[in-house]
Structure 1
């Protein structure tokens, strides 16, 4: 008999703890385990890229190289409406950013033409972004070569 009464009391206490009843803390919100997120929270934290606009739209603005530019490097990149200007210590370039796809993902193509003809083996590159403040260009490099430079930029405006 004692054993049965003890089991009933234990069941009631466990039931109250699991359901959150008892204690009278009406001002506390429901607790959830650390790291747990609801579907609504996940959607608000990481909206689909299409909801933020195309990569060309998100790339609009001014960018600065994350490394100090050498003679043939680019220091700054400015993108507006698919038009690009890029400058470095010895480079003054203009170009276009056009939509494209690579391996089923958005991968715009940047084509540059520099004054004086020397583009430091750039010419055509594929643009990628991480978040909205980091941009990288994977340049194709010279024809017949094994690929080109990869340049990285941070948004400054």
Structure 2
């Protein structure tokens, strides 16, 4: 029961972060592909059968006794750690990089990261603090971002 509640809270935080990131895109609603929609792994892995994947989506992991929820929508990125969101951008390159800013300078050990690998189920990010986190996909990135947030505050966990 505790895990379900924690995952529900994490999912609500991820949803909120995803909605917030909707206003952080490039501003061009044309037919452009979101940053890093292409895959780092061009074909299915013959050993595991895992399919290639996109960095876009909602990802979760536990590290250092904390739950982390990483959300990537277009070029917007959010990392929720212990209920505190860090937000920023994803930059394209040989390997996509994640550049985040955390409130009050907290979370500096995960302020800059490089996507090392991604498939349909897992995302591996090497962070500037010397740690590498492996995230499990929680949800796909939404195709269209809502413009009316309605009663979003009612959906967020209180406390």
Question: TM-score w.r.t. structure 1 length?
Answer: 0.51
What is the DSSP-based 3-state SS (H/G/I as helix, E as strand, rest coil) of the residue aligned with 1:54?
Answer: coil
Q: Which residue pairs with 2:134 in the alignment?
A: 152
1:90 offset after TM fit, Å?
A: 5.5
| 1:114 and 2:114 are equivalent in the alignment | no
Runs of 4+ in structure 1 over 6 Å off: none
| Unaligned segments of structure 2, at least 5 residues | 1-36, 41-52, 140-159
Aligned length: 91
Indicate the structure (1 or 2) with the bigger Cα radius of gyration: 1
| Structure with bigger RCO (C-alpha 8 Å, 6+ apart) | 2
| Unaligned segments of structure 1, at least 5 residues | 1-52, 102-106, 142-147
Q: Which residue pairs with 1:75 in the alignment?
A: 68
Q: Which residue pairs with 1:21 in the alignment?
A: none
**What is the distance in 2 between the residues matched to 1:74 and 1:123?**
16
Q: Which residue pairs with 1:54 in the alignment?
A: 38
- Superposed CA RMSD in Å reads 2.3
1:68 offset after TM fit, Å?
A: 5.2
Deviation by residue 1:94-116 (Cα, 9 ceiling, x = unmatched): 01111112xxxxx1111111111
Q: How does 1:66-105 map to 2 (within 5 A)?
A: 67=62, 70=65, 73=66, 75-89=68-82, 91-101=84-94
